[in-house]
Amino acid sequence: MSWDQEYSAKLMDADAAVRGIESGNRIVVGQAISQPPALMHALARRAEAGEIDQVRVYYYHSEHHMRESILRYELMGRILPHCMFWQAGERELEKRGLADGGRKVVFYVPNSFSQATRFLTDEVNVDTLLITVSPMDKDGYFTFGTNNDYSSTVARHVKRLLVEVNPAMPRVFGRSQLHVSEVHAIVENHVPLLEHKPRTVVPEELVIAKHIAGLVPDHACLQFGVGGLPNAVCDALRERKHLGVHTEVLTPGIAKLIRSGAVSNRYKALNTGKSVFTFALGDREMYDFLNENIGLESHPVDYVNDPAVIAQNDNVVSVNSTIEMDLTGACNSEHVNGHQFTATGGQLDFVRGAYASRGGKSILAFQSSCKSGTISKIVPRLSGPVTTPRTDVHYVVTENGFANLKGMSSTERAMALIGLAAPQFRAELTREAHERFLI
């Protein structure tokens, strides 16, 4: 049987593809852009008809198609969302459940992103994966496109691998190939990929970006998160020489930095000459940039985010953000007002990997206040869990400057962080520091 014949034999509509999913199954859905609309809507129809119940769904970062299908509130109970990275959809489900007599409908799974593949395959023992892939080539290979992350590893451990082929999904190099012989069912769906347009950069972020750029030397190997600040930092680095990229997420800002000529990846010890990522989040222009770009490689998250792998490149500079930081340097990057708001994600992976790199710098950058300057993001005590321990924090950057906390005493840390806080909060923070015998 040729690969085209095998493809045709496995091709079916979405309703037929999900027919084998049973009550009590544990399934994984791809992250963000790779979430397959046709397959998810077909699964939602089965739940709506009462054909399945108590189906656990594990996933990172829900997007529009998922929220409009298997995450609809009326399906909760039949579908049990187990989310590893909270977004607006999960916050809304939690809010509706609380209003509905305190009903628990969505479940957070604490994790570091680098460990997600292991616990999904070893501890959770998931049995089905739903994922969007790029079209098959003449040799029978799809690619995972924008989302290698946990999907490429989970795909080799499940009993049912259901793929949705979308011509809009870019074809990506690296360890991103998936052969038709590994797939159990194929669905075709021609829809535009969801896009994340870069948001407008605010003035404080431009100041922070300038501080960060001053910490980034030529030949540095970069990791950035998402948002306006990382894009501003990328803009500030266009005159650097021979930068490298080893990042969890590839964004429009990083793509523009690569196109500017500042990135060569020449001095990377691993994947020399290649910009490495595990998932991509951006707009159509960026997805076109990814397509068959030999200078880019996508790899599984348990490789890209492994601190031991990150540390093998020299001069790694990792830039992430946080919701609040206490006066000793501990960070809460996931809780707001007593509720899960986002998640740990890959922050701790790169904080540790960057510092372990020879010449590396781990940077946590954020605006010193929020809500029009009424709330300080540097606080006496965290209001949520510790995402990054104080023992791991290296550089801290706000619009008011930066500090290297490594080697500082608790007193020195408190004084440095008070100096990075918004001026209107410094007196109160100083008083709190005295009460806690930090200074």
Output the DSSP codes for 213-258: HTT--TT-EEEE-SSHHHHHHHHHTTT-SSBEEB-SEE-HHHHHHH
Q: Give the torsion sign (CA, 294, 296, 302, 303).
A: positive
* Residue in 17, 85, 82 with CA at minimum distance from that of residue 45: 17
Question: Which residues are the active-site residues?
Answer: 248
With H, G, I as helix, E, B as strand and everything else as coil, classify residue 342. Answer: coil
Strand partners, 179: 141
Both tokens of 81, joined, read: 């969302």
Both tokens of 119, joined, read: 């616990």
Who contacts 47 (Cβ-Cβ below 8 Å, separation ≥6)?
A: 53, 55, 70, 75, 78, 79
The answer to whether the beta carbons of residues 161 and 139 sit under 8 Å apart is no
Mutual orientation of helices 252-259 and 228-236 as an angle, nearest 10°? Answer: 10
Please give the Cα distance from 81 to 72 (Å, whole number): 10
Q: Rounded to 5 degrees, what angle do the CA atoms 68, 74, 79 make?
A: 80
